[in-house]
Structure 1
């Protein structure tokens, strides 16, 4: 019996990449899955493959997100698991610094997909999930959401925002059964890394590593997070690092000591 067995599951950005791996895992567990994505061809094909439903969805449009949530809830008697997975990489600040015109449309689209899409998903689903036993909202963030990532500044900012949003929601709704967690993978074998795929093996990215992770490994972590029922956690996973819960508590203790010392010194 898996974490999604017999449960209603909605995956945004579920047609390809990490999203498709999440869909396949949930369906293999016996979950009743709805795929929400812009790619109608890939989404419909995957839905047919695994016995899921497909809902055309632009996550930057709240009405479409709400419709996808309603589809899952009406088709499957509610919503138990929400994977907010849709994402874009976005523009870099290094171009304008060299005199290359900044792509404002790309910037706005990245913020809309990576942040608005998460906020809209939670806003649409929370009334259905807040008091539902075992309900789980899982956001696909990035290791860039807890560390830093050169040349992907906008992407990094949106992922930091998504992680903070998840952690804040967990505190706000701590008394309710619904849980909120973030997945923070390193480089995953999806179309998002195509622009850097060639030079990636030749870089040194420290503890994160530069090897490419299979999407299925992220789905493995998602299943674990849902099953373990943690709340407000951000889990790092890469091809070089085993799944690790980010130690926010240590940061908080350091900040408290620093502020306390500053106060005593003042």
Structure 2
């Protein structure tokens, strides 16, 4: 079944988000670009944010939206992005906090402080700062939806890039915690956890993935899942998107509760 067919049959068709305003960070390419297109096709007015000015403006033109340069690792830049969206579009209803980068270093002899700060700034600070900045705008609209891009690396061990695994696990923990915390305000917070999906991050891995026969997930599949989350009712969920599987919320195993005293 195509993404369009799934959307039409589930309340995510062309008018599903009519009158809604969406911010998409990292919107110049990959998952951000595909999701900006999907949100616009569902009727939303989209504000595209990225450091890639040329690519971001191109996507904004495609969706009939607006573009704003934004370094998501800068708190004031996130606030300015939200202010821009409110002034230009009248408010914000949806935030897809998607901007992210690969780490490029480990924690042993290959540790590089600048690379570490860059990755944590984009992948974790970008979600925290983006959430902090957009909450007042969402509350002003009576609620809304935040979707943060985590990764399958946030649900499993990542021996080849433990720092990437660390910041993506943090996004997963944030989604699970903020979901119920923000629910009284009518704000839903969820995470999307794709496997190897079409984006710039997998460029260095393409030969390896091809050699191992590992399929690359089309960005449109991830975008359709984001749209599914945005138009749904649930919160605090972390949706996996994996090749050959239907996307769905990951079912975390229960943490053991207290039992009999283990120590005298």
TM-score, normalised via structure 1 length: 0.88
Which of residues 127, 152, 167 in structure 1 aligns to 2:161?
Answer: 152
Report deviation, 1:5.
2.3
* Residue 140 of structure 1, CA deviation: 0.8
1:49 and 2:48 correspond: no
Q: Residue 66 of structure 1 aligns with which residue? A: 79
Map of 2:32 onto structure 1? 19
Which structure features the higher share of helix residues? 1
1:1-266 equivalences in 2 (<5 Å): 1=13, 2-93=15-106, 96=108, 99=109, 101-130=110-139, 132-133=141-142, 135-203=144-212, 210-248=214-252, 250-252=253-255, 255-256=256-257, 259-260=258-259, 263=261
Query: Which 10-residue stretch deviates more, 64-73 or 33-42?
Result: 64-73
2:217 is paired with a residue of what secondary structure?
A: coil
What SS is found at the alignment partner of 1:68?
helix
In the TM superposition, structure 1's runs of 4+ consecutive aligned residues that sit over 4 Å from their partners are none
Number of residue pairs matched by the alignment: 251
Whole-Å separation in 2 of the counterparts to 1:213 and 1:251: 29
Q: CA deviation at 1:171?
A: 2.3
Deviations 1:216-259 (A, max 9, x none): 001100111111121000000111221121112x333xx22xx4
Give the root-mean-square deviation of aligned CA atoms: 1.8
Give the CA deviation at 1:265.
Answer: 7.5
Q: Are the aligned partners of 1:5 and 1:26 in contact in 2 as well (CA < 8 Å)?
A: no
